Amino acid sequence: MALKYKRILLKISGEALGGEKGMGFDEPTMDAICGGVKKAHELGVQIGIVVGGGNFWRGRSSGEMDRTRADHMGMLATTINALGVCDALEQLGVNVRVQTAIAMHQIAEPYIRNKAVLHLQKGRVVVFGCGTGNPFFSTDTAAALRAAEIEADIVMKATMVDGVYDSDPKKNPNAKKYDTISFHDVLNKDLAVMDSTAASLCKDNNLPILVFSIEDPENIYKAVCGENIGTIVTANN
C-alpha cells in the first residue's frame, strides 16, 4: 500500500498506555499499540514518538506543589513511559532509541536533533522523553516542537476519541465530528485538540495534525497509508 507520510511524529498519551484504568502500564494495551507502530514501521515510515506521563503523574494537577518541581516530576514520568515503549517495541524486533530532553546518560541518549534524524534515516524508531525539558510546556507542545525539528510530515495525536468534535461527545450525544478543520477554528473555538501553544506552533510551521483513536492500534497503519480516519487539522480546511 502506498504511503501518504514518510516521516511522522506520533504523540501517545500516558493514559492510553494505562489501558482502561489509565494508570501505570497495561501490558496488553502497550503490546497492541506497539504492534501498530511496528506495522507502520515495516512499511518504511520513519517514526518519532513523544509520550505523555499522565498514567503516572500530572504536574498541572499537583495541588499546592511548586509548579516547576511538579513539571520536573512529570518529565520523569514521561521517561518511564519512553523506556516502557522502547522495551515493548524491542521485544517485537523493532530497532529503537530513546532520547531525553534532560540528560540522563545512564539510561538514554540526550536529545540531539541531528542524531535523532540520523536514527530515523537508519530505520530506527526514536522515542522522545522529558517533554521539551522545560516546565510549563505540555507534552503536546513537545510533540509539535520535535515534529518541527525533525521535519516530520505530520503530527499524529493518538487519543481515546476518534477525532475532533464541536463539543464533548461523552457529554453530548449529538456532538458533530469534523473530518477536517482549520487551525484558525481550533484556536478560536477552543476545541480540545492540543493546548494553544502546541496548536500555534504547528500552525506557524504549517504542520498538520491528525487526531485519531488509538483504541484500534491498526489506525496507526491506516493513518500513514492515508485512510480517512480521525480529523485532520490544517492551515485551510
Domains of the chain: 7-234 (3.40.1160.10)
User: What SS3 class is residue 216?
Assistant: coil
Helices within the chain (DSSP H only): 14-17, 27-41, 67-91, 113-121, 139-149, 183-188, 196-204, 218-224
The per-residue pLDDT for 19 is: 86
Please check whether residue 50 is in contact with residue 142, taking contact to mean a CB–CB distance below 8 angstroms: yes
pTM, to two decimals = 0.93
Least confident segment among 39-48, 150-159, 192-201: 192-201
Report how far residue 67's alpha carbon sits from residue 185's, in angstroms, rounded to the nearest whole number.
30
Q: What is the pLDDT of residues 71-115, one digit of tens each?
A: 999 999 999 999 999 999 999 999 999 999 999 999 999 999 999
- Looking at per-residue pLDDT, the higher value among 27 and 58 belongs to 27
The per-residue pLDDT for 79 is: 96
Band (pLDDT 50/70/90 cuts) for residue 21 is confident
Q: State the CB neighbour count (10 A cutoff) for residue 178.
A: 20
Report how far residue 59's alpha carbon sits from residue 130's, in angstroms, rounded to the nearest whole number.
12
Q: Rounded mean pLDDT of the chain?
A: 91
The per-residue pLDDT for 116 is: 98
Q: What is the pLDDT of residues 44-78, one digit of tens each?
A: 999 999 999 988 987 666 678 899 999 999 999 99
Over residues 193-207, the mean pLDDT reads 88
Q: Which residues of 108-129 are buried (b: 16+ CB within 10 A; e: fewer)?
A: bbebeeeebbebbeeebbbbbb
Percent of the chain with pLDDT over 90: 65
pLDDT greater than 70 at residue 1: no
Which amino acid, 67? R
pLDDT greater than 80 at residue 190: no
